[in-house]
Amino acid sequence: MSEMPSAASSEHRSPGPAAAPLGRGAGPDRRAEETGNGAVEDSAVAVSVIELSKIFRLDASGAKTAKERLLHPSRGSNSKFTALEQVSFDVVQGETFGVLGHNGSGKSTLLKLMAGIMRPTAGRVLVRGRLAALLELGAGFHPDLTGRENIYLNGSILGLDRNYVRAAFNDIVDFAELHQFIDVQVKHYSSGMRARLGFSVATHLEPDVLLIDEVLAVGDETFRNKCMERVHKFRSMGRTMIIVSHSADTVRQLCSRAAVLDQGRLIHLGPADDAIVAYRKALNARQQRLADKPPGAARPAKSPVVIESAHLIDAIEAAGTSTPPRHRATSNKDLVVKPGTPVTAVVTISVHDATVPVRLRITLRTPEGLLLINRATSGLLGGGSSLDLPEGRHEASFHFGPLPLRDGQYLIDITAETPDGGHQFARRAGLAGFSVEAGGRGLGLLAVPVTAELVTPKPTPRRRADDRREAGERAPTSVP
């Protein structure tokens, strides 16, 4: 791979998509005007997405026989679903660009449109150079062919000539660790093997633009790390990458800029960190929408305890030196703290049946579901295994000690359950939350001080002997 001089080899990749699709009245000129008043003007644009929309006819996929089409010719026009609406952005050459969105936000549709697999209802996508897409890490293998044949087939789909693929072949197989299986039909591969080969092919055939869907969703830890290495290398070669993900961490780790999609619309475009904040906001709003839908109906009437609400306050507010907390909180997820701040969660419950023994459980987690704290009230709030509260409304405060957490959002779930934890009476997930802002771009979960020192070992006698020998060998040449 590295021994292929890229400038020379690009001459060989003659029939690339760069030259292939001939569009009439293509928009480069119009594009130039448009980008002049906004997006990115400094560097060469690698991918330009222009007012892209995609509308699906929902029933169309069901009607596969001519009979249904003939009997109900007009049926399709009624139920439509707008998956993508007027999305525009530019991706600059050499950057790693993220597309963030929750499930159903339209990001997979966008990916398929950018890859040219689906045709947009309106708008267009312009691409500079060869584009490869890694959808669900499948890369489009033919099950009946062997791994070797599929590598060459994929190469020719990307418009590369045989010699170029042959030069990269060993690297591809090495990376995918498929030496003994390379002449086995792909249909006999495990999903992991297929994913490894797909990733390896897509990154080693050096497309100018690489689209990746959920890059690190598959494979074991070792392979994921290898992929990360490869992605970093790909980036350092100055190639363009577009990573579509619902994981803020992936985007934070890999991308410099990102777009955020919500319900088919572009709601944010900018540096990755800002985009992640916008994404989290959208996620919260979505959760709120989903949670608000069945407000009273979901509440079981005979539950002995109802979890009314919860909010979070930091230590200063808890001490009463700041403004009253309830007045300040516009939303119960607005609290922003610095790393190492103690936080108090105030939970309001109503007890309807005092005879049933109940305890509360509070969990602190990341939006992705990583559990940080999980604590039941057994031994808290008065000591017993269950809360013995009279009927009526109560307010319980949980004080968390200094939390050494880094940038990110953290959520509280409250559960009311039997004292042995066997049955849940009520559960409110993501009822409250807070964000930590360290003001830096860091990775990882914990903000714990880390120090380091460097010790350089003294040169050993063995090494000195080597030096001497080398010097000795060189000496005669310097003597005239």
**Residue nearer to another protein on the CB measure, 208 or 413:** 208
**Residue nearer to another protein on the CB measure, 153 or 356:** 153
**Residue nearer to another protein on the CB measure, 65 or 460:** 65
Shortest gap between Cβ of 22 and another protein (angstroms)? Answer: 5
| Out of 94, 357, 367, 442, the residue judged to bind another protein by CB under 8 A | 94
Q: Which of 230, 138, 133, 152 is nearest to 191 (CA)?
A: 138
The number of beta carbons lying within 10 Å of the beta carbon of residue 105 is: 25
Residue with tokens 């996508």: 125
- Per-residue binding string, another protein, 170-199, x by CB under 8 A, is ---------------x--------------
| Out of 2, 11, 74, 119, the residue judged to bind another protein by CB under 8 A | 119
**Residues whose CB is less than 8 angstroms from the CB of residue 462 and which lie 6 or more positions away in sequence, other chains included:** none
Site for another protein in 437-456 (CB under 8 A): none
Shortest gap between Cβ of 271 and another protein (angstroms)? Answer: 7
**Residue nearer to another protein on the CB measure, 93 or 247:** 93
Shortest gap between Cβ of 307 and another protein (angstroms)? Answer: 29
**Structural contact between residues 190 and 88, judged by C-beta atoms closer than 8 angstroms:** no
**Residue nearer to another protein on the CB measure, 75 or 265:** 265
| Out of 7, 8, 19, 475, the residue judged to bind another protein by CB under 8 A | 19
Site for another protein in 280-299 (CB under 8 A): 281-282
Shortest gap between Cβ of 407 and another protein (angstroms)? Answer: 20
**Contact between 114 and another protein (CB under 8 A)?**
yes
Residue with tokens 């405060």: 397
Site for another protein in 263-282 (CB under 8 A): 265-271, 278, 281-282
Size of the site for another protein (CB under 8 A): 85
**Contact between 123 and another protein (CB under 8 A)?**
no
Q: Give the integer Cα–Cα distance in Å for 90 and 92.
A: 6
Kind and range of the H or E element at 68? helix 66-71
Q: Give the integer Cα–Cα distance in Å for 113 and 133.
A: 11
Total residues found in the chain within this entry: 480
**Structural contact between residues 416 and 357, judged by C-beta atoms closer than 8 angstroms:** no
β-pairing, 392-403 vs 341-351, is antiparallel
Q: Give the integer Cα–Cα distance in Å for 240 and 203.
A: 11
**Residue nearer to another protein on the CB measure, 92 or 305:** 92
Give the three-class secondary structure for 364.
Answer: strand
**Residue nearer to another protein on the CB measure, 60 or 471:** 60
Shortest gap between Cβ of 104 and another protein (angstroms)? Answer: 16
Kind and range of the H or E element at 462? helix 461-478
Shortest gap between Cβ of 223 and another protein (angstroms)? Answer: 20
Q: Judged by CB under 8 A, which stretch of 53-61, 292-300, 383-391, 404-412 contacts another protein?
A: 53-61
Q: What angle do CA 422, 354, 419 make, to 5 degrees?
A: 20
**Residue nearer to another protein on the CB measure, 207 or 433:** 207
| Out of 39, 167, 354, 438, the residue judged to bind another protein by CB under 8 A | 39
**Contact between 129 and another protein (CB under 8 A)?**
yes
Shortest gap between Cβ of 313 and another protein (angstroms)? Answer: 27
Q: Give the integer Cα–Cα distance in Å for 459 and 317.
A: 58
**Residue nearer to another protein on the CB measure, 439 or 461:** 439
- Per-residue binding string, another protein, 59-88, x by CB under 8 A, is -xx--xxxx-x-------------------
Sign for the CA dihedral angle at 322, 325, 327, 330 comes to positive
Strand order through the sheet with 359-365: 335-337, 424-436, 408-417, 359-365, 371-376
**Structural contact between residues 416 and 360, judged by C-beta atoms closer than 8 angstroms:** yes
CA distance between the termini of the chain: 44
Kind and range of the H or E element at 343? strand 341-351
Amino acid code (one letter) for 174: D
| Out of 1, 52, 84, 95, the residue judged to bind another protein by CB under 8 A | 95
**Residue nearer to another protein on the CB measure, 125 or 438:** 125
Shortest gap between Cβ of 26 and another protein (angstroms)? Answer: 6
Q: Give the integer Cα–Cα distance in Å for 111 and 91.
A: 13
**Residue nearer to another protein on the CB measure, 18 or 445:** 18
Site for another protein in 150-169 (CB under 8 A): 152-154, 156-157, 159, 161-162
Chain-centroid distance, C-alpha 329: 30
| Out of 32, 370, 446, 465, the residue judged to bind another protein by CB under 8 A | 32
**Residue nearer to another protein on the CB measure, 69 or 393:** 69
Shortest gap between Cβ of 411 and another protein (angstroms)? Answer: 21
Q: What angle do CA 138, 144, 145 make, to 5 degrees?
A: 80
**Residue nearer to another protein on the CB measure, 108 or 245:** 108
**Structural contact between residues 398 and 298, judged by C-beta atoms closer than 8 angstroms:** no
Residue 462 token pair: 């063995």
**Structural contact between residues 104 and 23, judged by C-beta atoms closer than 8 angstroms:** no
Site for another protein in 198-257 (CB under 8 A): 238, 256-257
